[in-house]
Chain A
Amino acid sequence: MISEKQLIKDCQHYKKAAQFELVKRYSPMLMTVSRRYAHDQATAKDILQESFIRIFSNIQNFRPTGSFEAWMRKITVHCALQWLKKRANLNESIVYEINDWHPIEPAVFSRLETEEIIGLIQSLPAGYRAVFNLNIIEGYTHKEISIMLNISESASRSQLTRARKILQKKLNSQKLTKETST
């Protein structure tokens, strides 16, 4: 199998076979990223396609000092956010009551399949979904998220809180359903 370094080099020379190989190799990983931001499969595919186009357009700018996967993941996140900004209201349902939040037990995640969790994340409202992904999975701070999504920092915090609450409810009900079925 062709090495990642060679693959990048060939893609930087705009070799079509290498570009196709790159799509084949990294589609599943990047699809997970785009699915976390999109509310359905079709949108996730759109984001993924846009991401690949942007990857091929900008691959000359990639410096091998960093991780290629992280670079592609970042582009996919940016594409997803672009899509969200255009099609979704990120300021929807800003929540002010932050005192009634009870911390979610993260261990519950390990009892569920990743696919199920992605499904739950997809069911979140667009703004919550974006903030949750950016903060919990990508590791951005609220300040960074506020700039990326053009929302206030407190809105980012409150949306994350709300997202966690919704996820908690859904996870509990899912867990309950599972326990009932078993």
Chain B
Amino acid sequence: MNWEKFKNNMHDHESQVDPNEIWGAIEPEVNVINKSKKDKRRFLLFWLFGGLGVSLISTLVIWSMNTGQITKTDQMSMSEATNQTETLADGEPESSITESISEANSGNNLNAEFTKENDTPGNVDTNGNSETLATGNEGFPVTEDSNLKGESSSEKTTENFKNHSHAVQENKVGTDEALISLPEMQELINEEGSVINNSALPNDNETIAIFEEGQGAMQAIYVLPTQAISLTDVDDRSILSNLFDFASNFPLPILENNYTQKPFSFGVSAIGGASLVNRQFSQKDSAAIDLITLRESTEKTLEAHHYGLMFSLKHKSGFSLTTGIQRTSIAERFDYNESFEEVITIQGIDTLFVDINLDTIAIMGEIPMVRTTTFNNRNFNTHKLLDIPFLIGYERQFGKWNLGARAGILANLAMKSEGRILQDPSNILEVELQETPIYRPNIGLSYQFGLHIRREILPNLDLSFSPMLRVLPNDFSSSSYNVSQKYTLFGGQIGLTFRIGD
């Protein structure tokens, strides 16, 4: 209780001191601290807001580029489609079609416009002529104009195609499975119009979209409902043949569709990963060899982990640019078995030499004894790094999978080291409390290379995995410390990417 009171007295006691004198002595150093901290904050804010600004501007630019292109293409195509439809119909186009096209030309929701037409269920008359506009699941309009018996036009065509909606609803255009190109169609049907191989065609309840390459993009030239033209029916084979002839010989309206890939896409990723750590010590002067031996025997590298937020800009060619902010933590373990000896005296039987013949007698007395105590001093040291990565990548698509590689630099904004290390066998240093810092506050550039495997798990959401190698070639220790310390990390990271503008 009294000790507690004594302790409290000491805690509450205030000594006489002149604060002005203390402030006067520390003010120059405080100014330096304020300046460096403010600069660091400004630097960080600059990168953070700069990065966000660049990302925002890039997003807007990409967005406007993509939107502009689609609108222009669709509007142009729709105009062409209208004209062509009128020509083919050789008369007044069916009023509902015209209305539909006009609405589409107004630049409104294309899906909505065409679904209105498609919502009417009905049976398909495979023996009649048909003509309409249809839309796929992806919302792009295609002209559907089936002169199934080689007749070019009539009001009947329009009548028949009004009942064609069920096939349109089943339209798989825009998905890989239901697309068939013109050369592929030619391989399936011989010159007499017989189907050579119908196993490669989509299922009966799907719609075949016939595409051909044109002007750097896939162009839908025809949409064919396979249910309407049963491939097992002999008559339908000739229908298909006629259709093919019609498609290849007659200048049908060509509509670009949204199967065309946009030039750029933007992605935001949350990443995290872990790595194995390889640390390389080297001596800056000849005296450092003992210190290296000492530190290697007392320190063990553990793992490194990192996490961050990335922004990536990807061109349709497969090349991408990635930046963001990343935090990395490298862990080490410090184990030091400290031993000390102390001499204690105990009361016991001792021997005393009594003559030159070394004869002894036993006496009671104080016997000095050496007591050795060993204890383990274990600490976990960390180097925490804040980096801005700049990575260039290339990837190729294989179905829903994307495989590629990424490489680039990581610019270190700051590094903070904590823990304990040995300076000599009897001197443990607290890393963060040293007046002369052991480690640098910034390690400059490091380099990273890795593979990149990405798979779509939800629309616009990808899961990625990247085995990677990161080399940190710059010395972690300060110039005043005589051991150089460098790192290489090998590990992997997983990421969740939200894609915009794909």
Interface residues of A (CB under 8 A from B): 14, 16, 19-20, 23-24, 27-29, 31-32, 35-36, 44-45, 48-49, 52-53, 56-57, 60, 78, 82, 94, 96, 106-107, 109-110, 114-115, 117-118, 136-137, 139, 147, 150, 152-155
Contacts and interface: CB of A to CB of B under 8 A. Distances in A.
B7 to A, nearest CB: 5
B34 interface: yes
Contacts of B6: 106, 109-110, 117, 136
Interface centre among A14, A57, A136, A139, by most chain B C-beta atoms within 10 angstroms, is: A14
11 contacts: A20-B23, A23-B22, A28-B14, A28-B15, A31-B15, A32-B14, A96-B345, A106-B3, A117-B10, A118-B13, A154-B373
Contacts of B29: 53
B5 interface: yes
B2 A152 contact: no
A60 B34 CA distance: 12
Interface string B1-35: 01101110111011111010111011001110110
Contact of A150 (B15, B31, B37, B427): B427
Contacts of A139: 7
Contact of B340 (A60, A106, A152): A152
Given A49-B26, A96-B344, A56 B14 contact: no
Given A106-B2, A106-B3, A155 B13 contact: no
What's the dominant secondary structure at chain A's contact region? helix
Given A53-B33, A153-B375, A96 B13 contact: no
Given A28-B17, A110-B2, A96 B23 contact: no
A150 B425 CA distance: 11
A103 to B, nearest CB: 11
B343 interface: yes
B contact residues, range: 35 or more
A28 B14 CA distance: 5
A52 B26 contact: yes
A139 B8 CA distance: 12
Contacts of A56: 30, 33-34
Given A23-B22, A82-B435, A110-B6, A152 B13 contact: no
B17 A31 contact: yes
Contacts of B435: 82
Nearest to B3: A106
B38 interface: yes
A98 to B, nearest CB: 9
B481 to A, nearest CB: 17
A96 B2 contact: no
9 smallest A-B Cβ distances: which pairs? Answer: A28-B14, A106-B2, A31-B15, A152-B340, A14-B34, A24-B19, A31-B17, A114-B13, A109-B6
Nearest to A73: B11
